[in-house]
Amino acid sequence: MTKYRVAVDIGGTFTDLVALNERTGEVLNIKVPSTPKEPAKTVIKAFQKFLNETNDAEVSVIVHATTIATNALLGQLDLELPKTALIATSGFRDIIEIRRQRRHELYNLFLQKPRTLVPRRLRFEVEERIGPKGEVLTSLNKNQVESLAKQLKRENVKTVAVTLLFSYINQKHEREIEKILKKSLPRTYISLSSEIAPEYREYERISTTVVNAVLTPVISSYLDELQRKTRKLEVKAPLCIMQSDGGITTKNLISKKPVSMVESGPAAGVIASAFYGKLLGINNILSFDMGGTTAKAGVIKEATPEIVSEYEVAGKVHSGRIVKGSGYPVRHPFIDLAECSAGGGTIAWVDEGDALHVGPVSAGAEPGPPCYGRGGKQPTVTDANVVLGRLNPKYMLGGKMQIYQKLSEKAILEEICRKIRLELTEASAGIIKLVNAAMAKILRIVSVERGHDPRNFVAMCFGGAGPMHSCALAEELEITKIIVPLNPGLFSAYGLLAADFRNNSIKAFMKLIDDVDVRKVEAVFQKLELQGAKLLNKQRVSRGKMHFIRQMDLRYYGQSYELTSSTSKPFTERTLRKTVESFHKKHETIYGYAVEKERVELVNIRVIAVGLVKKPRLKEKPLNQEKPEKDAIIAQRKVFFEQDNEYVKISIYKRERLKAGNVISGPAVIEQYDATTVVYPDWIASVDRFGNIVLSMKNGGN
């Protein structure tokens, strides 16, 4: 039997399966259209295709990324949210509805806030009170909780969020409530805020716990169904899930804390970029992923993906930024991403003032762009690329999927040209310019707005549509080097195979640095490391593969938000001074200033428990001559380039026939099974020893 590690990533348009042969390092790539209403069905379809193509496959592990959690909160059909109850300290049940004083549309008099996930009639209060130092001021009224348990049973509540005041310091009362509820309601899911988000900021802690409670039945049901169906195919491998912070965890653990996987899919691409960067010796990378529905940008600085500690789930996106107050705040580590509605399936349209727009609506997998021939009528970015000659006008997926150029032309002529009197080429080029402008903006958000100069970074461009737009975006940001990985359309799925197990533990510790007892801090670090080690043990990670990262959340005294700084062990006075110095430097990098004489406050102590997994081995190939073989050129085609403002007849290369060491001078187009790379006139494409396409500006960009 041949052992494979399998990764499955569900996208808005396609679902990708990557199977890694553990002995040879060879990779099998499979792409099937997504079925958004039945995500498990698509995964099984991809698995069936994989098993049909391999006679003696034995799957050792399945790693999965999915957006089902976000889709449920966005109100996707067939993903009905379960009946959820909230138990809060007496007088505090309405915090979840009062929220913060934020209006995501400041001047909209008819503003609709996000629907409250727990209706008021299912928000209950209990008599109890823990003080700000963890002291018990009022004991829990257990009779009241027992009575409440009976009421929840009558209401047929499926899941409960328990969010008591100051429980992040002392979880005694939350534990007592859990014990009573489990006795009366053994099949009801229970989420405790002291476990889900044990840190201060009351509203955010409640919001995070409620989101977790709402998602628990949805995710548990989906993963149970998926595992049941894979086992019917005789695949009995353990199921692991990608988390929002770029780490993986087991099915059993994620089922209890699904709030940690709401941005599961987008995180995988950044992890793949970081893995490739280490392999190629590149520390600073701008990760750019353009798929069928959205485009996403992330940043890897000094070989480490940038992480944020809060995210607004199911919020509205404006100019690549999640609008504060438009979604549900979640306190959990997330890979720092900016995204916009700019994918291959994003629809172009004309407004009442005769202005051309692209997005935010997408044609998705069903019906898809008109050129797919599945009934789509509205023109998309993919159709514009077909008209401009950048995409193969006859087929995709190596000939397995037919393309209808006439349908693309018809859609753009009827929906765009006739309304604003543009020629077909003008309209198509305009669509590409608009979508490129939106994507350049998200790249600036994760670089310039975070204090990074994009000119000092290498762009890693992937996704089915990413390499087609990479040169235009690089020119806009003055980036002189681009990496297009071997299988860009399946690259995010590849990132799943490179991800380590990752568990986050946090302890609130509100103290001024001058008052910190380093021995107490060291004791907290050791306790959190022990918790992390226990979780890794449950995930069958051996002690030798465990690695612990220590961090501290710091801020200037009086500030509202903190920055996370790494620290080392053992924690001594010297370590403390170095960590504070690191905080000052980080503050200056992000905000442009540091006040070293100002008092610094320690807010939280964090430990990331990492379980190292065996990384995929990329096959190295010997370098060949610069000139590609004659059979690498499969056609000549007229392609439109905005620099020339006309169609240019160029060579079309088949990527599978290019060899390491080959060099192609732009303009050119390189086609492959899962993506198309457009090499602009001022660029040179070379194939490195791993089969990646390295795009470099001619004359170094001068």
Could you tell me where the DSSP H helices lie in 235-348?
251-256, 264-280
Both tokens assigned to 409: 């032309």
* Pick among 3.30.420.40, 3.90.1410.10, 1.10.287.1080, 3.40.50.1980: CATH of 2-72+221-261: 3.30.420.40
10 Å CB burial of residue 397 (0-12, 13-18, 19+) is: middle
Query: What SS3 state is found at 226?
Result: helix
Backbone angles phi, psi at 124, to 5 degrees: -120, 155
Instruction: Give the Cα separation of 3 and 333 in Å (integer).
Output: 33
Strand partners, 159: 84, 189
Instruction: Give the Cα separation of 342 and 364 in Å (integer).
Output: 12
484 and 462 in contact (C-beta within 8 Å)? yes
53: nearest Cα among 19, 25, 80: 19
Both tokens assigned to 583: 């905080």
Asked whether the CA dihedral 664, 668, 671, 675 is positive or negative, the reply is positive
Instruction: Give the Cα separation of 539 and 547 in Å (integer).
Output: 14
Instruction: Return the C-alpha torsion angle 331, 337, 338, 343, nearest 10.
Output: -120
Instruction: Give the Cα separation of 424 and 62 in Å (integer).
Output: 46
| Residue 35 one-letter amino acid | T
What tens digit of pLDDT does each residue of 308-317 get? 998 888 777 7
Query: What residues does each domain of the chain span?
Result: 2-72+221-261, 82-216, 501-611, 630-701
CA separation, residue 636 to residues 389, 632, 671 (Å):
11, 12, 12
CA separation, residue 697 to residues 471, 639, 681 (Å):
9, 20, 9
What architecture does CATH give domain 82-216?
3-Layer(aba) Sandwich (3.40)
Instruction: Give the Cα separation of 702 and 699 in Å (integer).
Output: 6
Give the H or E element holding residue 319: none
CA separation, residue 384 to residues 332, 392, 420, 701 (Å):
39, 12, 16, 28
10 Å CB burial of residue 152 (0-12, 13-18, 19+) is: buried
**pLDDT attached to residue 78:** 57
Both tokens assigned to 89: 């300290």
Instruction: Give the Cα separation of 213 and 458 in Å (integer).
Output: 40
Instruction: Specify the DSSP class assigned to residue 331.
Output: E
Strands (E), 107-148: 123-126, 129-130, 136-138
665 and 684 in contact (C-beta within 8 Å)? yes
Topology of the domain comprising 501-611: Dna Ligase; domain 1 (3.30.1490)
**pLDDT attached to residue 32:** 85
Instruction: Give the Cα separation of 533 and 512 in Å (integer).
Output: 29
Per-block average pLDDT, block size 10, for the chain (702 residues)? 88 82 83 81 90 86 88 68 95 92 83 89 96 95 96 96 96 97 95 95 95 94 92 91 94 94 87 93 95 90 91 76 83 91 91 91 82 90 95 81 91 94 94 95 92 94 94 96 92 90 94 95 97 94 95 95 93 96 93 94 97 86 91 94 90 94 94 92 95 90 58
Maximum pairwise Cα distance, the chain: 83
CA separation, residue 144 to residues 69, 127, 150 (Å):
33, 8, 10
Instruction: Give the Cα separation of 10 and 76 in Å (integer).
Output: 15
Overall residue count recorded for the chain in this entry: 702
Backbone angles phi, psi at 267, to 5 degrees: -65, -30
CA atoms within 13 A on the CB side of 594: 15
Instruction: Give the Cα separation of 512 and 601 in Å (integer).
Output: 4
| Residue 620 one-letter amino acid | E
Instruction: Give the Cα separation of 92 and 68 in Å (integer).
Output: 31
Give the H or E element holding residue 217: helix 202-232
Instruction: Give the Cα separation of 485 and 276 in Å (integer).
Output: 8
10 Å CB burial of residue 108 (0-12, 13-18, 19+) is: exposed
| Residue 88 one-letter amino acid | A
Both tokens assigned to 341: 């509605």
